[in-house]
Amino acid sequence: MPRPRPAGPSPQHRTAAGSCDYAPDDVRQQDGVSDPGRRSNTQSFRAQRSGVAESIAGTGRRLVTVLSAAGLALTAGLGLAACGSQEDCSEADGGCGGRTAPTAGPTVVGLTFIPNIQFAPFYVAATDGLLPDGVELRHHGASEGLFTALAAGQEQFVVAGGDEILQARAQGVDVVAVAPYYQSYPARLIVPADSAIQTLADLKGHSVGLPGRYGENWFALVLALAQAGLTEQDVTIAEIGYTQLAALSTGKVDATIGFANGDAVNFAAAGFPVRAIDPEVPLVSICLATTSALAETEPELVRGVVTALGLAIASVVADRDHALQVAAQHIPDFDSPEAQTSASLVLEATVPLFVGRLGQSPGLDPAQWRTMAEAMAANGLLPGPVEASQAMSDQFTT
């Protein structure tokens, strides 16, 4: 089953966790699963939250403590799952210059377009009472820019890729990452199981399909080619929209760029054997972001949301059934057997992205952000100069 895909070609239409998937309405399907017989464990988890929060405050290692308290080991991860768009900065988009001061009213976390199982930690945080008082979740409108509401002060947090955050800052948006959401980048080079393509260098002379020359599919391909010593002229790039399954299975392209917890799952569900090659590109995956203005004036609020997200991720990893039950309350069309199966498979493929690789710090790594900025700039993926250290803050996760 495909992931939920809004109709239309605009790269600003986005799905879960910052990823963007599109397809005609006749193939649009919400991922999800419902388990109405399961009893909620909200009270017990709130008790656990209380104890973990005290430990967090004393250790200064918030997310490490969160994961350890949930009995989690940092096991080998896969990759990430998000595709973004380069935002145009304009007056209509809320503007890109200056910083938006905190405003009175509810604190809003923007979750981009279409409710999806990949947002399960946010749904758990809201349903289980982990978020600070007054914090609300909001899914973006179909044609809404990723940072529009943040720039306008209508949202105080947003979920976005680290690469998208760098692009936005290069255009003057006040946005700063404060916590990781995915620990690993989900992009994969996907080839038929019997393909002669074994490494990135083997792409030379072959065709590669991807939705378009934008977003994280495109970022991953550009940097993967550079790492393999190839250029765009060494391959045939086919802009195939969100038809990776059809294009690869019919031989229209030799390879596609997709996501470990989306496209790879779809190929397996369709019974088409593939291999998913991790390009290991130097990009930062999905993050929780806010404005530097809010981070400076209300650090305890930011810390509270970051801590709640860490607790919720730990809960999802430790108790998938509860995560699926909670998600059913937030995602439409969640009751069909097909949706249940799809959601379960996607969640299983997403958990390694939450956890990351063995020994990896669960915080934000300034060196990784510098490396990303250098790689993106060197390959023409940034519209202007940007200081990586100003695009992220590790004070809330260390």
The 10s digit of each residue's pLDDT in 306-315 is: 999 999 999 9
Same domain for 244 and 212, yes or no, is yes
Q: What are phi and psi of 28, to 5 degrees?
A: -70, 130
**pLDDT at site 143:** 87
Q: Return the pLDDT at 162.
A: 96
Q: Which of the residues in the chain have pLDDT under 70?
A: 1-104, 357-362
In a domain, 135, yes or no: yes
Beta bridge partners of 384: none
The amino acid that residue 296 corresponds to is E
pLDDT at 215 (0 to 100): 84
Q: What is the pLDDT of residues 14-44, one digit of tens each?
A: 333 434 332 222 222 233 222 222 223 333 3
Residue 3's pLDDT is what?
Answer: 29
Beta bridge partners, 288, equal 159, 179
CATH of the domain at 142: 3.40.190.10
Query: Which pTM was predicted?
Result: 0.76
Indicate the DSSP class of residue 23.
-
Residue 397 lies in a domain: no
What's the confidence (pLDDT) of residue 67?
Answer: 40
- Whether residue 127 is contained in a domain is answered as yes
Mean pLDDT of the chain: 79
Q: Do residues 154 and 206 share a domain?
A: no
Q: How confident is the model at residue 97, as a pLDDT?
A: 43
Domain that holds residue 214: 187-277
Determine, yes or no, domain membership for 175.
yes
Asked, for residue 141, whether it belongs to a domain, the answer is yes
Question: How high is the pLDDT of residue 66?
Answer: 35
Q: Residues 205, 296: one domain?
A: no
Domain boundary among 225, 258, 277: 277
pLDDT at 40: 31
Type of residue found at 157: F
Indicate the residue among 277, 303, 326 that finishes a domain: 277
DSSP track, 67-80: HHHTT---PPP---
pLDDT at 398 (0 to 100): 73
- Same domain for 247 and 179: no
Positive or negative CA dihedral for 187, 192, 194, 195? negative
Position 293 scores a pLDDT of 96
- Say yes or no: 160 and 125 in one domain: yes
What pLDDT digit, counting tens, does each position of 151-190 carry?
999 999 999 999 999 999 999 999 999 999 999 999 999 9
Residues 317, 207: one domain? Answer: no
Same domain, 296 and 175: yes
Clarify whether residues 104 and 243 are in a common domain. no
Tell me, what's the pLDDT at 176?
A: 98
Neighbours of 163 (CB within 10 A): 31
Same domain, residue pair 25 and 166: yes
Q: Is residue 8 part of a domain?
A: no
Number of folded domains that form the chain = 2
Please indicate, yes or no, whether residues 28 and 90 belong to a single structural domain of this protein: yes
User: What pLDDT, on a 0 to 100 scale, did the predictor assign at position 128?
Assistant: 97
The confidence score (pLDDT) of residue 358 equals: 54
Domain end position, chosen among 251, 277, 303:
277
Q: Tokens 């991860």 sit at which residue?
A: 77
> Does one domain contain both 199 and 306?
no
Q: How far apart are CA 121 and CA 98, in angstroms?
A: 31
Does residue 343 lie within any of the structural domains?
yes
92 and 180 inside one domain: yes
If you search the block for the tokens 């309350």, which residue do you land on? 329
Secondary structure (DSSP) of 79-125? -------PPPP-TTTT-SSS-PPP-SS-EEEE--SS--GGGHHHHHH
5 part of a folded domain? no
**SS3 at position 365:** coil
